[in-house]
């Protein structure tokens, strides 16, 4: 990443106005911040990506402090995409830019089915656009990264160190939140947020959601592990390891069962595919240190408050979240009003619209939560229903057609990564993540999770970038031959 005088002025001005917009929640300051960072993203897309690594993980906090910052991430992503497309046009390579793989076409076809079905159902245009954004925005990040002209070693280090620094900030804040019992360093509206007794010991963090935080920390742990492998000795290697310990500690204290299961699958898949068992050593060491230095001491520090909560509600034990995962009472509650209920009701709706479904914004997605669904009143469902299951959401909203396209997307991506697993180590990492995502989809609307998909699609885009460079090298060699 090169920084000339004008770029430095833009970056310095953007940072200054960004800080001012948080201290003084004035919309004009947020607009100036957004415009400056948009300019940076267009002139230097890789700097734009680094800005996103700061913005996206803490976006819930930022828009709470200044709601006018809400559009900044979207604007930066769109400008990055436009600039990359523009560079391809200038270099007479736009045809290459427009060439899509089978799994990419399938993903876009899936979105098209959801949109068409939503229009037929009568979903509002705002709701449809909202859901298109949820699925497509981070896909644009993937496509832009895939088609970047160059990605140098220094670019990777900048991205990793900035991501690592933000993860450290979020982890330290998470420990403060846990030790202060959500009394310190939180917006007032978050402090007064009503939490179920069983959730009061979970760390919500700057994303203000323990499951989203856990997903982010799991990805941050992987990036910290990359940093650890970049260095062989000295402080440069110790710092990423300390970070891994902090990340593991906060991750455990989110008590996010679904994320733990999903990334457990990712870890096992990586070991089986890569056969690099030595990776167990730093991971096990980080987990052990996190238990000794953070999880156990923080757990003991909260025992007195925990005892009071237990008197009020015997289910307040956060540790019981893990033990209750498969017990009969939990399963019965899930069938009556939880995740199994959502699946049951989803199939009831699917029977009425099996071909292309009911469309985006109709069942359990972020658009239905924000705008409401025309189906909830018809089927006597809770207006606040959220699927927390990507698969039933896709089945209901896009029917058989959408399921086929989404299956082609998932399996096509799996096949492509499997074929590339011996070419680049990153392919193995992303392949393992994808297998974990298959599991995460049972617990969360994972493909709508902006924080997770941002990092996933950046890594996937880097795999695509390496693949394109390899093809270009082969073409050059064949012409010379």
Classify residue 28: in a domain, yes or no.
yes
**Residues whose CB is less than 8 angstroms from the CB of residue 194 and which lie 6 or more positions away in sequence, other chains included:** none
Question: How many domains is the chain partitioned into structurally?
Answer: 1
pTM of the prediction?
0.92
Angle between helices 72-90 and 125-146 (to 10 degrees): 50
The DSSP call for residue 387 is -
Q: What is the mean pLDDT of residues 219-224?
A: 98
Residue 339 has a pLDDT of 82
Of 346, 366, 412, 316, which is closest to residue 102 (Cα–Cα)? Answer: 412
The verdict on residue 305 lying in a domain is: no
Evaluate whether residue 58 is within a structural domain.
yes
CA angle 346-349-352, nearest 5°? Answer: 150
In the predicted structure, residue 162 carries a pLDDT above the cut 60: yes
Q: Pick from 98-102, 420-424, 434-438 the range whose average pLDDT is largest.
A: 434-438
**Residues 48-67, mean pLDDT to the nearest whole number:** 98
More confident residue, 303 or 177: 177
Domain assignment present for residue 401? The answer is no
pLDDT digits (tens, 9 = 90+) for 168-203: 999 999 999 999 988 899 999 999 888 887 788 899
Domain assignment present for 171: no
Q: Is residue 246 part of a domain?
A: no
pLDDT in tens, 429-461: 999 999 999 999 999 999 999 999 999 999 999
Enumerate residues 6+ apart whose C-beta is below 8 A from 467. 420, 423
Which range of residues forms the domain containing residue 22? 1-97
**By the 8 A CB rule, do 140 and 78 touch?**
yes
Is residue 350 in some structural domain?
A: no
* Helix extents (H) in 254-389: 257-274, 280-290, 296-301, 303-312, 320-323, 328-337, 339-350, 366-371, 374-378
State the Cα–Cα distance between residues 264 and 281, nearest whole angstrom. 16
Q: What is the pLDDT of residue 292?
A: 95
Residue 461 inside a domain? The answer is no
């Amino acid at each position: 990443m090169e920084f000339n005088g004008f770029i430095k002025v833009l970056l310095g001005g953007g940072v200054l106005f960004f800080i001012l917009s948080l201290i003084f929640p004035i919309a004009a300051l947020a607009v100036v911040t957004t415009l400056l960072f948009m300019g940076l993203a267009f002139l230097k897309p890789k700097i734009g990506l680094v800005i996103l690594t700061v913005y996206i993980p803490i976006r819930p906090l930022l828009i709470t402090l200044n709601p006018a910052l809400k559009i900044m991430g979207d604007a930066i992503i769109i400008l990055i995409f436009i600039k990359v497309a523009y560079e391809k046009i200038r270099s007479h390579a736009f045809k290459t830019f427009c060439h899509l793989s089978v799994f990419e076409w399938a993903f876009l076809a899936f979105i098209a089915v959801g949109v068409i079905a939503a229009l037929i159902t009568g979903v509002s245009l705002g709701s449809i656009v909202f859901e298109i954004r949820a699925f497509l925005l981070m896909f644009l990040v993937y496509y832009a990264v895939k088609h970047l002209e160059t990605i140098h070693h220094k670019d990777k280090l900048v991205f990793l160190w900035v991501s690592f620094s933000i993860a450290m900030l979020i982890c330290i804040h998470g420990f403060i939140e846990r030790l202060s019992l959500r009394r310190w360093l939180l917006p007032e509206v978050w402090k007064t947020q009503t939490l179920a007794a069983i959730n009061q010991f979970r760390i919500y963090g700057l994303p203000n959601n323990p499951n989203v935080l856990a997903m982010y920390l799991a990805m941050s742990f992987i990036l910290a592990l990359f940093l650890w492998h970049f260095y062989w000795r000295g402080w440069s290697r110790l710092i990423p390891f300390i970070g891994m310990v902090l990340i593991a500690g906060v991750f455990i204290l989110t008590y996010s069962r679904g994320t733990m299961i999903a990334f457990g699958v990712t870890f096992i898949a990586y070991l089986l595919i890569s056969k690099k068992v030595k990776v167990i050593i730093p991971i096990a060491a980080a987990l052990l240190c996190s238990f000794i230095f953070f999880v156990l001491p923080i757990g003991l520090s909260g025992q007195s408050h925990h005892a009071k909560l237990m008197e009020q509600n015997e289910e307040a034990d956060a540790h019981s979240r893990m033990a209750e995962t498969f017990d009969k009472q939990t399963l019965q509650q899930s069938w009556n009003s939880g995740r199994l209920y959502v699946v049951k009701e989803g199939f009831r709706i699917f029977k009425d619209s099996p071909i292309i479904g009911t469309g985006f914004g109709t069942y359990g997605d972020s658009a239905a939560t924000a705008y409401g669904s025309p189906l909830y009143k018809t089927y006597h469902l809770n207006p606040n229903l959220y699927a927390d299951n990507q698969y039933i959401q896709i089945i209901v909203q896009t029917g058989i057609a959408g399921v086929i396209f989404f299956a082609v997307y998932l399996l096509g991506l799996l096949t492509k990564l499997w074929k590339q697993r011996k070419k680049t180590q990153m392919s193995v990492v992303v392949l393992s993540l994808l297998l974990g995502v298959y599991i995460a989809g049972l617990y969360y609307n994972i493909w709508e999770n902006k924080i997770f998909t941002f990092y996933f699609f950046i890594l996937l885009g880097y795999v695509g970038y390496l693949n394109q460079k390899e093809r270009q090298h082969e073409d050059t060699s064949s012409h010379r031959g």
